[in-house]
A and B are shown apart, each in its own frame.
Chain A
């Protein structure tokens, strides 16, 4: 006897996946070749308030250390001595809470929409800001 669930099953067999596919633009080279040079799966647009990798305007920073005080995952570090004190940000530790962008008195921290941050080395160039 076909149950309500049975009809659902038939419908599912005939429908496309609903989740967003991994943007092939960012896939490793070996997979990209297989996917015919990234033509399929364009990246999905991120929402307006998306919190991605941090952008740091080093020149504007006054080295006050407020961001270090509020960062919940200790992803910020002060480097150098006062007048020239700046920060270093470790993206691999960041939890993308954006509280540092709110506390910064000169607004030199911003969240970007970059979200594909996987790397084999957590201290790679791409993952250290500042």
Chain B
């Protein structure tokens, strides 16, 4: 006779970016059912954004996510620019692309480190985050700060990239291009990582389409979906971007690692293309912020802004009605789509695989602190560390095989 046990995980843990609660039903070590619950961290950002002028909201939307600190304001300003028919100078569009692609490199490196940590390779976590320092330095070099860039303004960007800065940026893209082989060695050709990620957490193409997965999660399942390719925005129409997919997509964790690592190289290529194609010119449609503030009060209409963030499509809807503040503002982050794929991926796997599967869509919610085991009505508290330990033990087990 088999007995199933329900394991709730979450919702709150200081290390989680997004508090999520999981209920995982296990039979022995095997997961037979999974459910999740989101909405524990509603901050009312949109509410605040509907009560202040859009110039303030650019900086507020930067703080929706510390990692996608460029994509969210980018969507927001694109929507406002569309409402007001603001002509963005070409150079500004290229600078936007460069910053967005630098953000993708740093986000994917960060994710690769977290994924390695989840399966117990902390030395690889240190290695990838070491490599990531280079792009953080470049971001700081271009924008002034490491995390929240403050780069965008309605009608362009606030800081130029001068010719003098090109060599240092090229040096960084070259650095990543050269290191790519090493990163692939460590992640894609390492037998242990392969064993832990191949055929684990499969999301089929059919289910990916049905569940509207986005970003690398969808691409790893064989859905050629990329906003940069399908609905090119800013300077992407002039650039060579194609959705990266594995040759024979299975939709497992390995494929998701593959897609993200290849995208690091793709981003480096895009940045170099931008540096080659960028023409000198203005970077802002309206220099005077006070005048821009006055102009914004005449904006009327609605628009959406879309962008391909490192995790998938970001979508912002804005409606203005000749007021200081927007009448409506709605932001949708890619994880909102991707969380729905969790139950599909988790069911049928071992409990020790849950951390890496959950992390594989890049939400960083797997390092749960506290798990409550409900066994025959009694509660048992298990710490997230123990869950992590389970995962590390499994890595050791497959290595011995």
The chain A residues found within 8 Å of chain B, CB to CB, are 1, 3-5, 8-9, 12, 18-19, 47-51, 66, 69-73, 95-99, 102-103, 105
A123: min CB distance to chain B, Å: 23
Chain B's closest residue to A71 (CB) is: B56
Contact indicator B56/A8 (Cβ below 8 Å): no
> Which B residues are CB-close (under 8 A) to A96?
145, 148, 150
Given known pairs A5-B192, A97-B59, A98-B150, the reply for A51 and B144 (CB within 8 Å) is: yes
Contact for B59 among A50, A72, A103, A105, CB less than 8 A: A72
**B241 in the interface (beta carbon within 8 A):** no
- Residue from A4, A12, A105 having most chain B Cβ neighbours under 10 A: A4
Contact for B123 among A8, A73, A103, CB less than 8 A: A8
Contact indicator B158/A18 (Cβ below 8 Å): no
**Dominant SS at the B interface?**
helix
Contact for B133 among A18, A49, A66, A105, CB less than 8 A: A18
Contact indicator A99/B190 (Cβ below 8 Å): no
> Which A residues are CB-close (under 8 A) to B57?
72
Minimum-distance CB pairs A-B, first 5: A49-B144, A72-B59, A72-B56, A103-B289, A9-B123
Contact indicator A5/B190 (Cβ below 8 Å): yes
User: Total number of A-B contacts with CB less than 8 angstroms?
Assistant: 80
Given known pairs A50-B144, A66-B290, A103-B290, the reply for A95 and B59 (CB within 8 Å) is: yes
A70 to B144, CA, bound (A): 20
A19: min CB distance to chain B, Å: 7
A50: min CB distance to chain B, Å: 5
A49 to B126, CA, bound (A): 29
Chain A's closest residue to B61 (CB) is: A72
A8 to B127, CA, bound (A): 8
A99 to B293, CA, bound (A): 12
Contact indicator B55/A99 (Cβ below 8 Å): yes
**B186 in the interface (beta carbon within 8 A):** yes
B165: min CB distance to chain A, Å: 10
In the assembled complex, 18 residue pairs joining A and B whose CB atoms fall closer than 8 Å, in A order, are: A1-B191, A3-B190, A4-B186, A5-B123, A5-B124, A8-B124, A49-B142, A51-B145, A66-B289, A66-B290, A70-B289, A72-B58, A73-B59, A95-B59, A99-B55, A99-B59, A102-B158, A102-B289
> Which A residues are CB-close (under 8 A) to B63?
95
Chain B residues numbered 120-159 whose CB sits less than 8 Å from any CB in chain A: 121, 123-124, 126-127, 130, 133, 140-145, 148, 150, 158-159
> Which B residues are CB-close (under 8 A) to A66?
289-290
Chain B contact patch, size range: 35 or more
> Which B residues are CB-close (under 8 A) to A8?
123-124, 127, 186
A105 to B291, CA, bound (A): 11
**B185 in the interface (beta carbon within 8 A):** yes
Contact indicator A49/B159 (Cβ below 8 Å): yes
Contact indicator B124/A95 (Cβ below 8 Å): no
**B189 in the interface (beta carbon within 8 A):** yes
B111: min CB distance to chain A, Å: 17
> Which B residues are CB-close (under 8 A) to A19?
133
> Which B residues are CB-close (under 8 A) to A102?
158, 289
A2 to B130, CA, bound (A): 22
Besides the known contacts A5-B186, A8-B186, A73-B59, 18 further A-B residue pairs in the complex with CB atoms under 8 A apart: A1-B191, A3-B191, A4-B190, A5-B190, A12-B126, A47-B144, A50-B140, A50-B144, A50-B145, A69-B53, A70-B53, A70-B55, A70-B289, A72-B57, A96-B145, A102-B289, A103-B289, A103-B293
A102 to B189, CA, bound (A): 50
> Which B residues are CB-close (under 8 A) to A4?
185-186, 189-190
A15: min CB distance to chain B, Å: 9
Given known pairs A4-B190, A8-B123, A8-B186, the reply for A18 and B130 (CB within 8 Å) is: yes
> Which B residues are CB-close (under 8 A) to A5?
121, 123-124, 186, 190, 192-193
Given known pairs A8-B127, A72-B56, the reply for A97 and B150 (CB within 8 Å) is: yes
A44: min CB distance to chain B, Å: 10
